[in-house]
Structure 1
């Protein structure tokens, strides 16, 4: 029961990160690996400020701003520096490792015995409302003029440029907001876990993708409202899968492999289902044509018999 409660709580915290990944992966169609670094950036900023006596709320907000800055730098590197999208994310992720070490001053910052946003808080009661606010705010943003331009940039950048939209700006805004949400998740996870560690962001992009893909596969993504809800639920389902895997005997060191396999399965499953549907349609059409031919032959035979 305790493991189930912990999985639900972690799923809620990671849902914010998954929403950030959804922005770049689905909305912008941008393979942003900055996530692995900006997650730690959020955790590092929050942990250092809280340990230094700052307000947990202010510390969490500054962590969000730090994520915005990291995403903006990736966007500038790609749009103004003309660096490949994938490479710009990788370069920023590498740079953030050293930046995060500078922020923290050491590899690990404990928060035991320090008041945080999570202290004396019933996560399962409060976090669903917090996640709902973030989700609805993101839904609202994606229906504004800027949000619609952001979605159009991911769908058809050439078309939206023909309407006079500066796609460089929309890419920078999208990457900033995405990494801001990722850093916010990192800050909350650090407070929940009572520590920040330099390698805690490793593999976050895969976990985020797993949440997005699992959510879309299980709950659909026909509208923005439904897609963001699916991402949140996908994050919770993913954490429950991890908890179940640990219960049946998998080692914690196998979790990255299991996550990769989940993503591979979730990515290939829709293609397999589509292929099976196409084969079924072709088989049904072949049977219909065969039946039409049989009917035609019988009709022709009857007509010849009458003659």
Structure 2
């Protein structure tokens, strides 16, 4: 159990970067962007093929994020300049990216088992410090016979994900970021202030997909392979992370909302791992589990709010009755 939870946290931190990208379009821009399912694979495909051609892992990862940014910008252009519905624009780009990703990879699956990935380099550096044995000893003392990977992946990805979170927070408080948020709230209003909403939408969708592609590039290196179908359902996972995080931690400020998204991504992976340990569920039920989680995350806050409102009305009625009896 402890081993499975460790792995869930490890992958959840990486997927949290993708969830932050989904948050930018889904919550900030109010843009239902399905490009995510394609750009996630694009990031992984570009990173994989780059490393196989001798590009250093860090640079390959950056190239993957850049490819995602370009894909997102094209979706924004299709919507703003082509005057095509936002949802349909994302679907069209997602379909196009399937073929583009196949072109990039040259085949449905690319193996990175013989490549020096970002995480393998980290593991090599970490092994020289001797700290891995120390942390593994802690887990073993808690009952785990082994650990799925070295601690360095978790530690480094926590710093990377938090750094992206703080940069996102800062960006959304800048003049451009505020204009981006205003565009999501009320396009007509921000347009009346001479802001170019088309450019803002293109930029926002591009930045969102760059984060999604960055996550895809890191996941590809983490699992040591890229597959053309690995992005299927990624938008649902991203939305689940956003909705679960907001339901549990709130969304009063940008800083709280972004940390909630990260927490939601980790909790989502943990819940999925725990659910798959139930006897009557197997790995093929993951999409069903995700759908149920999203439904619960959407419905539960409304039920709790309705109960709270009902209690408030009953309390107010009781106060009015007591006043009437007193008079």
1:113, distance to aligned residue in structure 2 (A)? 2.2
1:178 is the counterpart of 2:179 = no
1:268 is the counterpart of 2:292 = no
Secondary structure in 2 aligned to 1:16? helix
1:214, distance to aligned residue in structure 2 (A)? 0.9
Aligned residues: 296
Matches of 1:218 and 1:266, distance apart in 2? 9
1:236, distance to aligned residue in structure 2 (A)? 0.7
Secondary structure in 2 aligned to 1:119? helix
Provide, for residues 173-198 of structure 1, a one-character-per-residue CA deviation record: whole Å limited to 9, x for no partner. Answer: 10000000000000000000000001
Query: Partner of 2:236 in structure 1?
Result: 206
For 2:266, which of 225, 236, 247 is the aligned residue? 236
Q: TM-score, normalised by structure 1?
A: 0.94
Matches of 1:38 and 1:275, distance apart in 2? 39
Matches of 2:102 and 2:114, distance apart in 1? 23
Structure number, greater radius of gyration: 1
Is 175-184 or 3-12 further displaced after alignment?
A: 3-12
Matches of 1:84 and 1:274, distance apart in 2? 33
Provide, for residues 79-133 of structure 1, a one-character-per-residue CA deviation record: whole Å limited to 9, x for no partner. Answer: 1101011111111111111111111111000000210111042111211111111
Query: Partner of 1:287 in structure 2?
Result: 318
Query: Partner of 2:276 in structure 1?
Result: 246
For 1:136, which of 143, 153, 166 is the aligned residue? 166
Query: Partner of 1:26 in structure 2?
Result: 27
Matches of 1:82 and 1:63, distance apart in 2? 28
Query: Partner of 2:217 in structure 1?
Result: 187
Matches of 2:164 and 2:317, distance apart in 1? 50
Secondary structure in 2 aligned to 1:209? helix
Provide, for residues 131-173 of structure 1, a one-character-per-residue CA deviation record: whole Å limited to 9, x for no partner. Answer: 1111111111111100000011111111111111111111111
1:278 is the counterpart of 2:279 = no
Query: Partner of 2:196 in structure 1?
Result: 166
Query: Partner of 1:90 in structure 2?
Result: 91
Query: Partner of 1:303 in structure 2?
Result: none
Is 224-233 or 183-192 further displaced after alignment?
A: 224-233
Is 181-190 or 226-235 further displaced after alignment?
A: 226-235
Query: Partner of 1:301 in structure 2?
Result: none
- Cα root mean square deviation, aligned: 1.0
Matches of 2:34 and 2:301, distance apart in 1? 24
Structure 1: 5+ residue runs without aligned partners? 297-307
Q: TM-score, normalised by structure 2?
A: 0.89
1:248, distance to aligned residue in structure 2 (A)? 2.3
